[in-house]
Structure 1
């Protein structure tokens, strides 16, 4: 990811799976997980939080 602060622009690699959130001029990259879900919480038209959960598949293991 390349940034140009004067123009407030950034270049991203479109071959990479990710979610980008821009809030108040700041870029946050949310990377992919193996399993689970990300829920975006909005408030007044802006992203407030990202709620991440992880799914664990039961495959006969004794402990999780």
Structure 2
């Protein structure tokens, strides 16, 4: 991931399975889970929380 702070742009790889969250000009990369679920909580049009649950096969 390449970030240009002056232009406020970011270059990301489309070959990676990831989730990206942009909040207040800040980029956060959330890597993929093997098995599981991500839930995003929004408040006033902004991401408030990210809830991750992981499934384990037995």
Tell me if both proteins adopt one fold, taking TM over 0.5 as the criterion.
yes
Structure 1 runs (4+) deviating above 6 angstroms are none
> Structure 1: any 5+ residue segments left out of the alignment?
59-64
1:15 has 2:21 as partner: no
TM-score normalised according to structure 1 size: 0.87
> Structure 2: any 5+ residue segments left out of the alignment?
none
TM-score normalised according to structure 2 size: 0.95
Which of the two has greater strand per residue?
A: 2
